[in-house]
């Protein structure tokens, strides 16, 4: 037998999926083929705003190997409108979003027409034969101009560019005071801009639709196969049981594949029209242009405090760019941040207002962290500003405001109940790892000597709400679906275990972590567990992977399913050992008779007994399979302290990260290697927002950062070594104690880096550098203050 | 993306390559390491009817010593240039610059001749060739000719190469006794230079006897910063004097204003980086 005393949970297991993922010897959607497969290419608009006068696909049809070509007008009556599952207010302005543009173009890269051919090259060649007559219009690009009276409208029929205004007020909600009625000895007003980002996942999106004989099989590089299946049924009129969606191995997503895409619907329409399987794989240029973007909001904050450093209230006004249409959860993305602008602090009053605005740009939707990085950025930047205003150390001003360990569970001014945390412990550990005091001394020396290379230290003490999400809360926030998750565990006759999970990995390492959990729960070997996912035929329900939810929600369902199996196995084992189930204890991977540990049966023993079914206790079904579905009662709240030391070359504006320390508390850790990998990747993406990445449209609405030459995610050589460590304060709201880690690094790191840059430049009078803090922007920030007097200080 | 269909030839000699280009006419293009051409083809920004791949011409590859100069085959990769003992000894500037190009994969595919012929203003190698006063050997239907670095670089993406000519080799005078340094400034490690400054300095005791300073991405081609060179001749080899001499580094330049950097910032960088490059080359 393979039973073992060693705990798998907590072991730094190498990921079992990595060999196939790293070598590419696996099933990516674009690697797959089916008999008779055709290939589709999409013609996209070169304009941001235009009227389509005519589209002529006839010449494309006569090109070699072309099977079909059609435009939006050809499918106008059947294509329907892409869904928005999160209409955040009752009166939200929610325009139709046709998969293929019919008569109006609303953003650069919008799909206009398609060619389906026997091979991909022929399809792409034939695109050039499609004739489109556009009448270009003036685009609306600037958020504040879009809201101004008399602005050109993205959707003239709606009469406004304003989609919604969503408000939270602690006085109205009864969770705190009125922001206008609290002490305001110090008032800080700041504006920050969250630039637009592009989720640069490694594998471009790809989809195959095989129409079969009316029962559709769809492979898609998606994060959400289950949600996609529901929407395929709702949008195409195909009965849900005639649709099978498969997300094979998926090469990253970061929220960028949390979408029901135009391309998925267009490919479906093509396959249905032609009656043959059709594949569409986007080019990287198309990913950049037409895959959804993230962030893009203007943040105005007003913070009030007493002179002793106690923050009394915070008021936040967002203008969030929706892009040209509402994405699947686009309106809700800034709302995910609404409960986080108070961070880890005990503020008396809080007000939040978000206005969603249409512009002639690619729509925005979740990108790693989704709303929470923006919130953390704002509060952590402005806490540093307060420290400067009061002449306090930035750590000290945070300490005076954050929730103390003994105050948990703590109901925040935003109305959430944080179950646990220890901000002092994480911060103290981070300070020691960074060598904070020594670096402060060095900073003083450099300032005193006028060193052209200045040193800065940035702090970010963050928390986030993870484990999306309690279904009741989602319902209250007008989200269309729930937030539960499911797992099935089946023990095979030889004691091997198959696990079916409703979450859908795209790089996270679920197969490894799930195997570790099952190994401990059932006393089987790590290698004896197979984790099945992403195919709606084997995994018929689930709500997929995003929002750091897989382990924090799906992991609990898994534990509960395992425990059901174990309870059944206990009954069978007791029967085999001729004792009462109550006489058995589960230790060392087996059920043992108390006081007679050699009398033991494993889950595998029980599995074979059940398989034979010759001698089972009365009333016991001959199966060791079980399902569980878990709906969390609340969110989970990982937290941590990230510290960043930068060296800023004041002559060139170049920023070099000298040291980066990440101390995260993600609750109970299943696999420290996976946690560390998540933190590394997350920090890399957060640093990228701080220093490198920005999607830019020119004045005509053309995306000018359309390739990795202009849009510049960092490579390994652009990133610092990252010192990681942890504190472990288990979640108290569920049996596993985990809190989620997928977004933590991204949420924490961006303000740590920008705070460090601004800290380095304080002697020059700099109090902000817009992101990304490119060398030229840093240089200009120094020069701007050098030549002007600092104004606008409130 | 997938390029527009094209014909493809892989000649085994320079003569065959020249003949193929002559036959191919205007729509024929030379493929060297492909690091610039292939992305352009994939984005369908260019659609030549014929590619003449020089990858099979063995005689175009490698570094030879020829008296007072090194002869470097046009198809020698950046990695081979960077790691060549001959280049490192006699033209360390060239080796150092080659090592800064792109990433490891790019350096193993990209070639010295390809980079010089493509004449991207942001490319590093033209500034090295200018500083080293390299000579270019071109082969065409009527034989071979030799062109100076100054004459080879004509304009943005434009060189003295005719449509039916192939760059065969680059002759680099040995620069023993000169100190050199390339100061490259870029946003991302693998990205093009926003501005680069190459400096070569010969000094006697505490005085700079002679200096050559060239600029990357400060105009349509690599530029000689002649005002700096003149100011440095006879200048004390100390930081203040060098910085003073380099304050004219942006004179006569015409850098572009684009998404990566403004022209104003590039001019500022040229001055700062020139000071740093010259100081490093002078061992200050």
pLDDT digits (tens, 9 = 90+) for A701-746: 999 999 999 999 999 999 999 999 999 999 999 999 999 999 999 9
Beta bridge partners of A487: A501, A628
Q: Is the pLDDT score of A787 beyond 60?
A: no
Compute how many other C-beta atoms are within 10 angstroms of the C-beta atom of residue A201. 21
Q: Is the pLDDT score of B79 beyond 90?
A: yes
pLDDT tens, A392-437? Answer: 999 999 999 999 999 999 999 999 999 999 999 999 999 999 999 9
pLDDT tens, A503-559? Answer: 999 999 999 999 999 999 999 999 999 999 999 999 999 999 999 999 999 999 999
What is the mean pLDDT of the segment spanning B24-49? 94
What radius of gyration do chain B's Cα atoms show?
A: 19
Q: Do residue A391 and residue A528 come from a single domain? A: no
What is the mean pLDDT of the segment spanning B51-59? 97
Q: Strand B207-216's sheet: what is its strand order?
A: B179-185, B195-204, B207-216, B223-224
Supply the pLDDT for residue A785. Answer: 82
A619: left (phi over 0), alpha (psi -120 to 50) or beta: left
Indicate the range of A259-263, A465-469, B56-60 predicted with least confidence.
A465-469
Supply the pLDDT for residue A732. Answer: 95
pLDDT tens, A655-697? Answer: 999 999 999 999 999 999 999 999 999 999 999 999 999 999 9
Q: Is the pLDDT score of A788 beyond 50?
A: no
Answer whether residue A453 is part of any domain: no
A80: left (phi over 0), alpha (psi -120 to 50) or beta: left
Flag if B187 and A692 touch (Cβ within 8 Å).
Answer: yes
Q: How many angstroms separate the CA atoms of A703 and A688, rounded?
A: 19
Flag if B187 and A775 touch (Cβ within 8 Å).
Answer: yes
SS3 call for A280: strand
Supply the pLDDT for residue A789. Answer: 41
Q: Is the pLDDT score of A794 beyond 60?
A: no
Q: What is the CATH number of the domain that holds A626?
A: 3.30.365.10
Cα-based angle B123, B125, B127 (whole degrees, multiple of 5): 90
Of B1, B4, B268, the CB nearest to A285: B1
Answer whether residue A625 is part of any domain: yes
Strand pairing report for B50-53 and B28-31? parallel
Flag if A714 and B190 touch (Cβ within 8 Å).
Answer: no
Supply the pLDDT for residue B1. Answer: 80
Beta bridge partners of A319: A298, A355
What HEC string does A552-585 produce? HHHHHHHHHHHHHHHHHHHHHHHHHHCCCHHHEE
Q: Do residue A495 and residue A370 come from a single domain? A: no
Which of residues A630, A661, A696 is at a domain's end? A630
Of A652, A714, A715, the CB nearest to B185: A652
What residue spans define the domains of chain B? 7-53, 60-173, 179-281
Alpha helices in A354-504 (DSSP H): 372-390, 394-399, 423-434, 436-449, 471-476
pLDDT tens, A195-221? Answer: 999 999 999 999 999 999 989 999 999
Q: How many angstroms separate the CA atoms of B219 and A6, rounded?
A: 66
Candidates A281, A691, A775, A783: best to mutate against B (most CBs of B within 10 A) is A775
Kindly provide the ipTM of the predicted complex, given to two decimals.
0.96
Compute how many other C-beta atoms are within 10 angstroms of the C-beta atom of residue B124. 27
Flag if A651 and B272 touch (Cβ within 8 Å).
Answer: yes
Answer whether residue A214 is part of any domain: yes
Answer whether residue A155 is part of any domain: yes
Above pLDDT 70, what percent of chain A? 98
Supply the pLDDT for residue A585. Answer: 96
Above pLDDT 90, what percent of chain A? 96
Q: Is the pLDDT score of A791 beyond 90?
A: no
Supply the pLDDT for residue A486. Answer: 98
Minimal CA–CA distance to A368: which of A226, A506, A263? A506
- Under the banding of pLDDT at 50, 70 and 90, the label for residue A379 is very high
pLDDT tens, A741-767? Answer: 999 999 999 999 999 999 999 999 999
What is the mean pLDDT of the segment spanning A577-589? 94
Judge contact between A682 and A368, C-beta under 8 A. yes
SS3 call for A27: coil
Minimal CA–CA distance to A332: which of A300, A372, A302, A380? A372
Q: How does the average pLDDT of chain A come out, rounded? A: 96
- Under the banding of pLDDT at 50, 70 and 90, the label for residue A786 is low
Judge contact between B128 and B93, C-beta under 8 A. yes
What are the φ/ψ torsions at residue A351 (nearest 5 degrees)? -135, 140
Chain A residues at the B interface, defined by Cβ less than 8 Å, are 120-121, 124-125, 283, 285, 651-652, 654, 692, 696, 704-705, 707, 709-710, 712, 714-715, 717-718, 774-776, 779-780
Q: Determine the distance in angstroms separating the CA of A776 from the nearest CA of chain B, rounded to an integer.
A: 7
Q: Is the pLDDT score of A112 beyond 60?
A: yes
Q: Do residue A150 and residue A242 come from a single domain? A: yes
- Under the banding of pLDDT at 50, 70 and 90, the label for residue A1 is very low
Q: Which residues of A touch B4 (CB under 8 A)?
A: 125
Candidates A64, A281, A718, A783: best to mutate against B (most CBs of B within 10 A) is A718
Q: Which residues of B touch A204 (CB under 8 A)?
A: none
Supply the pLDDT for residue A52. Answer: 98
Q: Do residue A489 and residue A396 come from a single domain? A: no
Q: Tell me how long chain B is.
A: 284
Element (H, E) at A45: none
Per CATH, which fold does B179-281 belong to? Answer: Enolase-like; domain 1 (3.30.390)
Of A121, A125, A776, the CB nearest to B262: A776
Q: How many angstroms separate the CA atoms of A662 and A452, rounded?
A: 28
Query: Domain range for residue A374?
Result: 139-401
Q: Which residues of A touch B2 (CB under 8 A)?
A: 120-121, 124
pLDDT tens, A30-48? Answer: 999 999 999 999 999 999 9
Strand pairing report for A162-169 and A410-411? unpaired
Which of residues A349, A366, A401 is at a domain's end? A401
Q: Which residues of B touch A779 (CB under 8 A)?
A: 265, 268
User: Where does residue A541 rank: exposed (0-12), middle (13-18), buried (19+ CB within 10 A)?
Assistant: middle
Judge contact between B124 and B101, C-beta under 8 A. yes
- Sequence-distant (6+) residues with CB within 8 A of A645 are A434, A439, A455, A456, A457, A458, A657, A658, A659, A660, A756
Flag if B188 and A718 touch (Cβ within 8 Å).
Answer: yes
Per CATH, which fold does B7-53 belong to? Answer: 3.30.43
Flag if A120 and B269 touch (Cβ within 8 Å).
Answer: no
What is the mean pLDDT of the segment spanning A286-297? 97
- Under the banding of pLDDT at 50, 70 and 90, the label for residue A597 is confident
What is the mean pLDDT of the segment spanning A296-324? 98
Chain B residues at the A interface, defined by Cβ less than 8 Å, are 1-2, 4-5, 43, 103, 185, 187-192, 194, 259-262, 265, 268-269, 272-273
Answer whether residue A438 is part of any domain: no
What is the mean pLDDT of the segment spanning B67-80? 98
Q: Which residues of A touch B120 (CB under 8 A)?
A: none
- Under the banding of pLDDT at 50, 70 and 90, the label for residue B108 is very high
Q: How many angstroms separate the CA atoms of A708 and A285, rounded?
A: 9
Q: How many domains does chain A have?
A: 2
Of A285, A652, A707, the CB nearest to B269: A652
Compute how many other C-beta atoms are within 10 angstroms of the C-beta atom of residue A24. 11
CATH class of the B60-173 domain in this structure: alpha beta
Q: Do residue A334 and residue A227 come from a single domain? A: yes
Answer whether residue A167 is part of any domain: yes
Give the helix, strand, coil percentages of chain A, each rounded to 5: 30, 25, 45
- Sequence-distant (6+) residues with CB within 8 A of B114 are B32, B33, B34, B35, B36, B37, B74, B75
């Amino acid at each position: 037998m393979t039973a073992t005393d060693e705990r798998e949970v907590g072991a730094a297991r190498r990921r079992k999926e990595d060999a196939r993922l790293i070598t590419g010897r696996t099933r990516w959607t674009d690697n797959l083929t089916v008999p008779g497969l055709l290939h589709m290419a999409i013609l996209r608009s070169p304009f941001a705003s235009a009227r389509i006068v005519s589209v002529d696909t006839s010449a494309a049809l006569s090109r070699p190997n072309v099977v079909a070509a059609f435009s939006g007008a050809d499918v106008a009556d059947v294509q329907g409108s892409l869904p928005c599952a999160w209409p955040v207010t009752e009166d939200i302005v929610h325009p139709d979003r046709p998969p293929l543009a019919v008569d109006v173009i609303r953003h650069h890269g919008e799909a206009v027409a398609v060619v389906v051919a026997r091979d991909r090259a022929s399809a792409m060649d034939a695109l050039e034969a499609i004739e489109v007559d556009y009448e270009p219009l003036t685009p609306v690009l600037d958020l504040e101009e879009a809201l101004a009276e008399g602005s050109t409208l993205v959707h003239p029929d709606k009469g406004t560019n304003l989609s919604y205004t969503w408000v939270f007020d602690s006085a109205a909600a009864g969770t705190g005071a009125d922001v206008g009625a609290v002490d305001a000895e110090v008032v800080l007003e700041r504006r920050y801009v969250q630039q637009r980002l592009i989720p640069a996942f490694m594998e471009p999106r790809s989809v195959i639709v095989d129409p079969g004989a009316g029962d559709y099989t769809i492979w898609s590089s998606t994060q959400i196969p289950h949600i996609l299946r529901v929407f395929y049924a709702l949008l195409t009129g195909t009965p849900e049981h005639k649709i099978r969606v498969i997300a094979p191995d998926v090469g990253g997503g970061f929220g960028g594949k949390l979408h029901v895409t135009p391309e998925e619907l267009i490919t479906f329409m093509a396959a249905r029209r032609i009656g043959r399987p059709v594949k569409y794989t986007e080019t990287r240029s198309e990913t950049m242009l037409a895959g959804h973007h993230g962030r893009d909001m203007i943040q105005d904050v007003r913070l009030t405090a007493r002179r002793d450093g106690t923050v009394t209230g915070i008021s936040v006004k967002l203008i969030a760019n929706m892009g040209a249409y509402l994405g699947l959860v686009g309106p809700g993305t800034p709302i995910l941040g609404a409960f986080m602008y108070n961070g880890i602090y005990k503020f008396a009053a809080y007000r939040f207002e978000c206005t969603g605005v249409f512009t002639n740009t690619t729509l925005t939707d979740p990108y790693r962290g989704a709303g929470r990085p923006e919130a953390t950025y704002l509060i952590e930047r402005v806490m540093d500003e307060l420290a400067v205003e009061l002449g306090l150390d930035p750590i000290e001003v945070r300490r005076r405001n954050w929730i103390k360990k003994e105050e948990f569970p703590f109901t925040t001014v935003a109305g959430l109940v944080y179950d646990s945390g220890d901000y002092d412990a994480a911060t103290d550990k981070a300070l020691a790892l960074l060598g904070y005091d020594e670096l402060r001394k060095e900073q003083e020396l450099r300032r005193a000597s006028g060193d052209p290379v200045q040193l800065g230290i940035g702090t970010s003490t963050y928390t986030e709400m993870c484990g999306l999400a309690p279904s009741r809360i989602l319902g209250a926030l007008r989200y269309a679906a729930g937030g539960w998750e499911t797992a099935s565990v089946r023990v095979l006759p030889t004691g091997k275990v198959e696990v079916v999970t409703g979450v859908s990995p795209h790089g996270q390492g679920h197969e490894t972590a799930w195997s570790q959990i099952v190994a401990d729960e059932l006393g089987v070997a790590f290698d004896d567990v197979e984790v099945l996912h992403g195919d709606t035929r084997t995994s018929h329900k689930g709500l997929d992977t995003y929002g750091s939810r897989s382990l924090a929600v799906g992991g609990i369902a898994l534990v509960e399913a395992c425990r059901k199996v174990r309870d059944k196995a206990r009954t069978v084992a007791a029967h085999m050992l001729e004792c009462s189930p109550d006489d058995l204890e589960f230790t060392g991977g087996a059920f043992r008779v108390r006081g007679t540990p050699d009398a033991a049966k494993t889950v595998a023993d029980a599995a074979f007994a059940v398989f034979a079914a010759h001698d089972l206790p009365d009333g016991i079904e001959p199966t060791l399979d079980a399902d569980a579905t878990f709906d969390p009662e609340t969110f989970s709240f990982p937290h941590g302290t990230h510290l960043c030391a930068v060296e800023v070359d004041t002559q060139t504006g170049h920023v070099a990260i000298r040291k980066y320390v990440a101390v995260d508390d993600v609750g109970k850790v299943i696999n420290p290697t996976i946690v560390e990998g998540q933190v590394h990747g997350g920090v890399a993406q957060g640093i990228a927002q701080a220093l490198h990445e920005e999607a830019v449209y020119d004045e005509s609405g053309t995306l000018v950062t359309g390739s990795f030459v202009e849009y510049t995610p960092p490579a390994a050589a652009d990133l610092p070594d990252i010192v990681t460590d942890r504190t472990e304060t288990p979640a108290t709201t569920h049996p596993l104690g985990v809190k989620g880690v997928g977004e933590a690094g991204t949420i924490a790191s961006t303000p740590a880096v920008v705070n460090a840059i601004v800290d380095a430049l304080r002697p020059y009078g700099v109090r902000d550098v817009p992101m990304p803090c490119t060398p030229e922007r840093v240089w200009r920030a120094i020069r701007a203050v050098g030549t002007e007097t600092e104004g606008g200080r409130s | 993306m997938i390029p527009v269909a094209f014909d493809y030839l892989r000649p085994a000699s320079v003569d065959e390559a020249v003949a193929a280009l002559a036959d191919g006419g205007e729509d024929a293009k030379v493929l060297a390491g492909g690091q610039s051409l292939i992305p352009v083809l994939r984005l369908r920004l260019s659609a030549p009817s014929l590619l003449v791949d020089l990858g099979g011409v063995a005689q175009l590859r490698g570094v030879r010593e020829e008296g007072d100069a090194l002869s470097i085959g046009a198809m020698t990769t950046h990695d081979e240039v960077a790691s060549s003992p001959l280049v490192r000894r006699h033209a360390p500037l060239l080796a150092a610059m080659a090592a800064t190009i792109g990433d490891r994969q790019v350096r193993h595919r990209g070639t010295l001749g390809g980079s010089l012929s493509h004449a991207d203003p942001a490319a590093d190698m033209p500034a090295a060739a200018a500083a080293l006063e390299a000579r270019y050997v071109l082969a065409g239907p009527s034989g071979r000719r030799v062109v100076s670095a100054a004459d080879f670089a004509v304009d943005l993406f434009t060189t003295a190469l005719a449509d039916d000519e192939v760059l065969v080799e680059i002759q680099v005078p040995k620069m023993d006794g000169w100190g050199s340094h390339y100061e490259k400034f870029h946003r991302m490690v693998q990205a093009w230079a926003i501005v680069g400054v190459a400096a070569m300095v010969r000094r006697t005791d505490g005085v700079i006897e002679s200096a050559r300073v060239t600029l990357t991405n400060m105009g349509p081609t690599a530029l000689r910063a002649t005002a700096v060179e003149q100011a440095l001749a006879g200048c004390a080899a100390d930081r203040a004097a060098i910085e003073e001499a380099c304050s004219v580094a942006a004179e006569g330049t015409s850098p572009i204003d684009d998404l990566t950097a403004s022209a104003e910032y590039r001019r500022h960088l040229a001055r700062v980086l020139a000071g740093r490059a010259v100081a490093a080359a002078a061992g200050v």
